[in-house]
Amino acid sequence: MSDVLAGLLAAALATNTPMAVSNLVAQETGLSISVPNPNDPVEREYQALIDKDDTTMRQIEAWTDPGGTTNEVTRLTLKQRVKAAEDDVRLAYDDFLRRHPNHARAHLAFGAFLDEIQDEDGAFEQWKKGLELDPKNPAAWDDLGNYFGHAGPITNAFIYYQKAIDLDPTQSVYYHNLAVTIYMYRQDAEQFYHLSEQDAFDKALALYREAIKRAPDDFILASDYAECFYGTNPPRWEQGLVAWQDALKSAHDDTEREGVYIHLARINWKLNRYDESQHWLDQVTNKGYAVLKNRIARNLHEAETNHPDIR
């Protein structure tokens, strides 16, 4: 969400003047949105339902944490406990939607919950209903794009993600989702968009850049983009080097930074820049990267042995 839009939405909730602020958002961003009134009883009930969903899923995550400590009894009953918690949330959604069947956002949220508990068909039905009730909601199009991206047809994912972008061009995730899908399903993209393989790569990479513009501090997004250059045919090492250098700027801690160093070492080795490759490799101290570091070090040593004149 852009800073302008976020500020306007915050103002709407703070002043309880959703209609006036909604009009202002449309003027400032070109988006037409409906800001819910937080004092509406149905809205309060909906927010309580969302809180219940979030709290339950966090609890389940804690129960199933591989690093957690559990005794024999809890291990034996964990599956039942998880199912009971999931059923409790499912019944809460069912109850709310029985009384408020036209609440589009509740259908979308229920779909997200069902998708998280691996009920993809149930999620699809909820997302489809949410879209039917609110066809101008970009999240509904994006959710269904995710479904088609997994279940097919892939061409539907192209269409639905693009519609989400058209409805709200400020959201990084919509560009990212379409970029990933085009990159992963290039043959489908080539046929659908009437592109060559190189043009399909270019389209996906351009969408990645649009996503990064809207989320410049998203390290996962920047890394995902940089990874793409390994898979282009042929690999685009120079562009990949720039992408990893940019990703380094958004790294949040030493673990992320040293992960980027590994990639910078690898690409410089591929570009026959052995001194630069060694420079980045020397900065990797995290034991978690030891296998990768040693592998690149062996490759680098072999390359320097076979090509001693290249530095």
Question: What is the tens place of the pLDDT at every residue in 75-90?
Answer: 668 888 899 999 999 9
* Omega within 30 of 0 (cis) for the link into 234: yes
Share of the chain above pLDDT 70, in %: 84
Distances, alpha carbon 107 to alpha carbons 48, 53, 55, 102, 167, in Å:
15, 13, 19, 8, 19
Q: What is the mean pLDDT of residues 62-85?
A: 73
d(CA 37, CA 45): 12
Q: Is the pTM of this model over 0.75?
A: yes
Residue 19: what pLDDT?
A: 35
Q: What is the mean pLDDT of residues 97-115?
A: 96
Residue 18 has pLDDT above 50, yes or no: no
| pLDDT tens digits, 118-177 | 999 999 999 999 999 999 999 999 999 999 999 999 999 999 999 999 999 999 999 999
Six token digits for residue 199 = 């043009």
Residue 36: what pLDDT?
A: 78
- The contacts of residue 187 (CB under 8 Å, 6+ apart) are none
d(CA 184, CA 91): 37
Residue 163: what pLDDT?
A: 98
Domains of the chain: 1-38 (no CATH), 40-135 (1.25.40.10), 153-211 (1.25.40), 216-311 (1.25.40)
Residue 300 and residue 274 in contact, taking contact as beta carbons nearer than 8 Å: yes
